[in-house]
Structure 1
Amino acid sequence: MADGETGILRVVSFNIRYGTARDGLHSWPLRRRGVRELMRTLGYDACGLQEVMNQQREYLAAGLHDDDWYGVGRTDGFHEGEQAPLVVRRAAIDVDDWSTKWLAEDPDSVGSRGWDAKIPRVATVVRGRHLASGGDVGIINTHFDHRGARAQHESARLIADIVRLDASRRWLVMGDFNVGIGAPALTALREAGLRSALPSSAGGTFHGWSGATDRQRIDHIFIGPGWTVVRSGIRLDRPWGILPSDHWPVFADLRPS
């Protein structure tokens, strides 16, 4: 529930930058308090994170006691490798089931690398009930490959198929797609009836530790039929003056319609 508004679902997508990167003054031990504080203040009901190593997940989860975490490491299906977890506030969504799908020819093959992707990529899928409205919802959080053009296209098709096969739900798809909102790679999502929750004027998300707001927006929230956007945008918070990541998080407040 966003800022106490009844019936509103706030969703957030945030690439937190993997914790083993050699980022000097932006290394994980120096910014982890800032990331956790930002997550506390975002007021989300569902938050999709990307580039999460298990040590990062454990640190963040220890300070976010009202949330449940869904997702696994992309390397072994347990703890190894980056995760794209969904963090769900249990008072907002009653989760029925969840799964991790590898963005590959066989999405159930653990650790698989699809098409021309540089590395394995995953999507976390959660199905449940929005408690405020009583409606069934589906949420997908993902991180597309940064190099493979075919992998980006096919990953979008895979996610679109998940949505189509369970079309009675109100769907949300979020993540770091590594392409702009109008990219041909995302055509399959648009053809499945999904649309951007953010306006084209929202600004950029990836800033490469510069703090810039005018670079490309590669982090997106897509919504299916049944949602009305109340407000949406990019959060530029710097807790205690700390840049929390090399991406800015995006958010959307949604009302079932």
Structure 2
Amino acid sequence: MFVSLLALAVTMAAPPAKDPNDVRVMSYNVRYATAKDGENHWDKRKEFLAETILAFDPDLLGTQETIALQRDFLAQKLPGFGVLAAGRDDGKEAGEMMALFYKKDRFEKLDGGHFWLSETPDKVGSKGWDTSLPRMVTWVKLKDRKVASAPALVYFNTHFDHRGPTARVESAKLLRKKAAEMGKDCRVLITGDFNSGEGSAPYKALFGEQDGKPSPVVDTLRAFRPTADKEEGTATGFKASATVGARIDWIGVSRNWDVKDAAIDRTARDGRTPSDHFAVTAVLKLKAE
């Protein structure tokens, strides 16, 4: 009886079987490669991180804290993917990138670009409010090659400031506004490291009601798993045991998606994780008319 119950638990916890029409999404803060991380330095963990990504097999991947050499390494490991990325300092190669990767056999790129999380979002490298560093959003508009009837997909990837509380709230408001405007008559997807936990002011600014109106996007993990768990922390410090704490990495989607699965990827080896964040994932399906 014990074995049967255990088997049932494992079956229930497993993600749904792959459906070719599903969209598999992964968001990953990969920890910038020049950090002095000793045994956890990028050169010692990059293959493990790439293997973790490939094991999930995303159709869409958003990475944060990605510098140019990391973008290029991941592009090499993901040869069937298109890549869109720009440095936050100059809009080119300088500074961390919010890199987007998309499977080219699944999606056709229609448009794409970047904006900065500031009062002047179109100004390259601009800083806003009480932010400590330039912060930005990279976005891409995609056509689904497999589901011809599906509306276009507008995908945003970002990383909010780690110090400025006002900047995080205002960044969430700006992102919500952009998602509503740019995602009109489309599907919307948002990934990122928000440096804010569930229930925080930035979380409410992005996902909560505003002037009595629901947000255009919902939190995939909470949509799939309505009751929060104390072990939903996503910042690890490279320790596999660091599961308690704030869930600061989110995947948000518009309401015309069904969330078939949402999870925190706890992949580890010898007690160490591939990055100082756990990846977060979602499996999505276009909602029936």
Q: Would the TM-score normalized by the shorter structure come out above 0.5?
A: yes
> Which structure's CA Rg is the greater one?
2
Alignment partner, residue 179 of structure 2 = 163
Percent sequence identity over aligned pairs? 35
CA contact under 8 A between 1:204 and 1:214: conserved in structure 2?
A: yes
2:24 and 2:58 in contact (8 A); partners too: yes
Matches within 5 A, 1:169-208: 169-190=186-207, 191=209, 192-198=215-221, 199=225, 200-201=228-229, 203-208=232-237
| Structure 1, gaps ≥5 residues long | none
Matches of 1:214 and 1:131, distance apart in 2: 40
CA distance 1:41–1:183, change in 2 (3 Å) = same
Aligned partner (choices 213, 227, 230) of residue 243 of structure 2: 213
Q: Secondary structure, in 3 states, of the residue corresponding to 1:208?
A: coil
Tell me, yes or no, if structure 1 residue 84 matches structure 2 residue 73: no
**Partners of 1:180 and 1:216 within 8 A in 2:** yes
Aligned to 2:161: 145
Cα drift, residue 81 of structure 1: 0.4
1:106 is matched with which residue: 91, 113, 120? Answer: 120
Task: Report Cα offsets for 1:93-150 as digits up to 9, x if no partner.
Answer: 2110111111111111111111100111111111111223232111111000011111
Q: CA deviation at 1:87?
A: 0.8
Q: Distance in 2 between matches of 1:185 and 1:4?
A: 33
**Matched position secondary structure for 1:95:** strand
Q: 1:239 to 1:46 in 2, by over 3 A?
A: farther
TM-score (norm 1): 0.95
Once residues 167 and 187 of structure 1 are traced to their aligned partners in structure 2, the CA distance between those partners, rounded to angstroms, is 21
For structure 1, which segment, 48-57 or 4-13, has the greater mean C-alpha deviation from structure 2 after superposition? 4-13
Query: Is residue 31–residue 242 contact of structure 1 (8 Å, CA) maintained in 2?
Result: no
Tell me, which stretches of 5 or more residues in structure 2 are unaligned? 1-15, 210-214
| Alignment partners' CA distance in 2, 1:197 and 1:51 | 22
Range that drifts further, 48-57 or 183-192: 183-192
Matched, 1:29 2:43: yes
Question: For residue 217 of structure 2, what is the amino acid of its counterpart?
Answer: L
- Deviation (angstroms), 1:224: 0.9
Higher relative contact order (CA 8 A, sep 6+): 1
Report if aligned partners of 2:116, 2:135 keep a CA contact under 8 Å in 1. Answer: yes
Question: RMSD across aligned C-alpha pairs, in angstroms?
Answer: 1.6
Q: Quote how far apart the aligned CAs of 1:186 are.
A: 2.5
* CA–CA distance in structure 2, aligned partners of residues 131 and 226 of structure 1: 18
Equivalent residues, number = 256
Alignment TM-score, normalising by the size of structure 2: 0.84
Farther-moved stretch of structure 1 (209-218 vs 151-160): 209-218
C-alpha deviation, 1:177, in angstroms: 0.3
Secondary structure (helix, strand or coil) at the match of 1:186 reads helix
